């Protein structure tokens, strides 16, 4: 981690944006001091009328995932070689990354509040639950494993926000499309950062990095909202419904999971790495065969029909 930190200033310059130059949520929302504010809200609500039930459920799930940012910041700060007591620059990275991410939940939350279609209190209850329930991604405090996780997750959130952007446009809502689109672009930039960190680890510690990658894929990459629940439910009870809705809608599917895995193996040039230990060679074989196996399974998995499940986040 100290080795990676030597280039921290360059990484921050390449992959993060300073507050003065970054978009802010208010730029994409009606201006409350404007004379046309009430009309703007009416127009916004009109544009949200055609958004379907599954779409709103997935959008709210995405928002709650973004709103659980305190969980991600404390978890990253806990990783070996990163934490607050390290003077190597990692904590600066985590703070600046958090500061950018904070805009995502902020923007989406304000937007759906104005939309008139979301039960904000229920969404907020789920958010409070998710932050108190935390996240267990199986990677403990190991930075290699956790940066595989963040590489994967930034790509997954990119896919998810990108698709909600495309669909919003289809439903005639260009503003929401733009909102999801700018968030997706941030996620892509963050994904590039975490992928570059892992690429650098592969250069200096290929065998251990390979084993860490394999371990995370054997455990499967859990979604950050896997503990999602609604009021009165047990921990994690809402997650499968959220993820089924995302699969039905095509916002994030098992095929996307496979595509992300495959893109990472290509990005890190897994196939051609040399100088590996025997165990790392075996890990490589496992990883290289995995996308094909997942594709076969995905072909056989039928998309689940909507269950009689009510998301209490949606009012109408
Ligand atoms: Fe985000
Ligand atoms: Fe992100």
* Interval 277-293: pLDDT, tens: 999 999 999 999 999 99
Which whole number is the average pLDDT over 141-170? Answer: 98
Find the ligand nearest to 15 CA: 2
pLDDT at position 85: 67
Write out the catalytic residue numbers: 23, 66, 101, 104, 154, 157, 186-187, 190
Q: What is the pLDDT of residue 84?
A: 63
Q: Are 62 and 108 in contact (CB under 8 A)?
A: yes
Closest CA to 311 of 236, 238, 261: 238
Ion ligand 2: residues, Cβ under 5 Å:
154, 157, 187, 190
Residues contacting 289, CB < 8 A, separation 6+: none
Mean residue pLDDT across the chain: 95
Ligand 1 mean position, distance from CA 275 (Å): 36
Which residues make Cβ contacts (< 8 Å) with residue 255, sequence separation at least 6? 295, 298
Reply yes or no on whether the pLDDT at 211 is more than 80: yes
């Amino acid at each position: 981690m100290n080795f990676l930190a030597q280039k921290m200033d360059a990484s921050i310059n390449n992959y993060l944006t300073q507050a003065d130059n970054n978009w802010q949520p208010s730029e994409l929302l009606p201006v409350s001091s404007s004379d046309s504010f009430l009309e703007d809200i009416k127009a916004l609500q009109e544009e949200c009328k055609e958004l379907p039930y599954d779409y709103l459920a997935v959008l709210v799930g995405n928002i709650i995932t973004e709103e659980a940012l305190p969980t991600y910041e404390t978890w990253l700060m806990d990783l070996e070689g990163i934490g607050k007591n390290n003077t190597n620059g990692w904590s600066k990275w985590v703070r600046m990354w958090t500061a950018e991410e904070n805009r995502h939940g902020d923007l989406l939350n304000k937007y759906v509040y104005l939309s008139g279609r979301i039960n904000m209190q229920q969404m907020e209850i789920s958010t409070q639950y998710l932050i108190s329930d935390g996240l267990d991604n199986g990677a403990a405090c190991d930075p290699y494993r956790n940066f595989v996780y963040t590489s994967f997750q930034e790509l997954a959130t990119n896919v998810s926000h990108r698709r909600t952007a495309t669909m919003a446009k289809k439903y005639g809502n260009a503003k929401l499309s733009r909102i999801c689109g700018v968030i997706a672009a941030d996620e892509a930039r963050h994904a590039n950062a975490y992928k570059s960190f892992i690429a650098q680890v592969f250069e200096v510690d290929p065998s251990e990095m390979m084993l860490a990658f394999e371990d995370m894929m054997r455990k499967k990459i859990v979604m950050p909202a896997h503990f999602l629940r609604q009021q009165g439910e047990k921990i994690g009870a809402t997650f499968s419904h959220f993820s089924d809705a995302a699969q039905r809608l095509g916002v994030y599917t098992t095929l996307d999971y496979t595509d992300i895995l495959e893109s990472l193996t290509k990005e890190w040039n897994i196939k051609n790495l040399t100088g590996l230990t025997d165990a790392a060679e075996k890990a490589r074989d496992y990883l290289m065969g995995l996308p094909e196996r997942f594709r076969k399974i995905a072909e056989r998995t039928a998309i689940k029909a909507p269950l009689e499940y009510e998301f209490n986040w949606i009012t109408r």
